[in-house]
Amino acid sequence: MEIIECIQGLPEWFTAKAGIPSASNFSKIVTADGKPSKQRTKYLYKLAGEVIVGVAEETYQSAAMLQGIELEASAREMYQFVTGQEVKEVGFCLANGYGCSPDGLVGNKGLIEIKCPIMSTQVGYLLANALPKDYWQQVQGQLLVTEREWVDFVSYFAGLKPLIVRVTRDEPFLKALEIELKIFVEELKELVQKIR
């Protein structure tokens, strides 16, 4: 794994990840069952365009998403205080033509993925006390890219109890994900050659 040093959210980060399948979008490539996603082709076309232009396409950020970005540092500090673990922030991690931007490396074996949802969503997460299924491919994808053993999924809303759920590697899913990503990366290269 190669770590590209940059600050997440800044222009150099968008440039570093342009045209590269990223764990936050692995659900657009493969379902939680390891099957190809219906969003696959559209995501393939988006990345092909990014490869040629050299810049990641900007996506819409709602007020809730922007608030989440602002609260991430507080959530990271809370996690370090509660767990006693030190978190090292990283830019973009790259391996085998795909990558991820975890919210931090924890020790030699772990990662942290932080979400700062709206209040009602946080309450729902606390009641479920589990990794929300919407983040399964992202979290497992981060483990694939970084070759780490676990991710602490952290959901934080100031004033409410935080949720910290440890997610370990699901090897059968990771095998299916790796196969689908390899196929996707090859298709992306071929598509770029066709339209360049």
Report in angstroms the alpha-carbon separations of 195 from 70, 149, 191.
Answer: 39, 39, 6
Residue of 159, 161, 143, 160 whose CA lies nearest to 151:
143
SS3 state of residue 6: coil
- Per residue in 38-95, pLDDT tens? 999 999 999 999 999 988 877 666 676 677 778 899 999 999 999 999 999 999 999 9
Q: How many domains is the chain partitioned into structurally?
A: 1
Alpha-carbon distance of 151 to 110, in angstroms, equals 6
Of all helices (H) and strands (E), which one includes residue 105? strand 104-106
pLDDT of res. 61: 65
Report in angstroms the alpha-carbon separations of 13 from 37, 46, 55, 93.
Answer: 26, 17, 10, 11
As a whole number, mean pLDDT of residues 20-35 equals 95
Domain coverage including residue 187: 2-195
Residue 13 has pLDDT above 80, yes or no: yes
Q: What is the pTM of this model?
A: 0.93
| CATH number for position 113 | 3.90.320.10
pLDDT of res. 69: 75
Burial of 15 (0-12, 13-18, 19+ CB in 10 A): middle
Contact 107, 141 (CB under 8 A): no
pLDDT of res. 79: 97
Question: What is the arrangement of strands in the sheet containing 2-4, beginning at the earlier edge strand?
Answer: 2-4, 92-95, 98-100
**Tokens for 140?**
């497992």
The average confidence (pLDDT) of the chain is 94
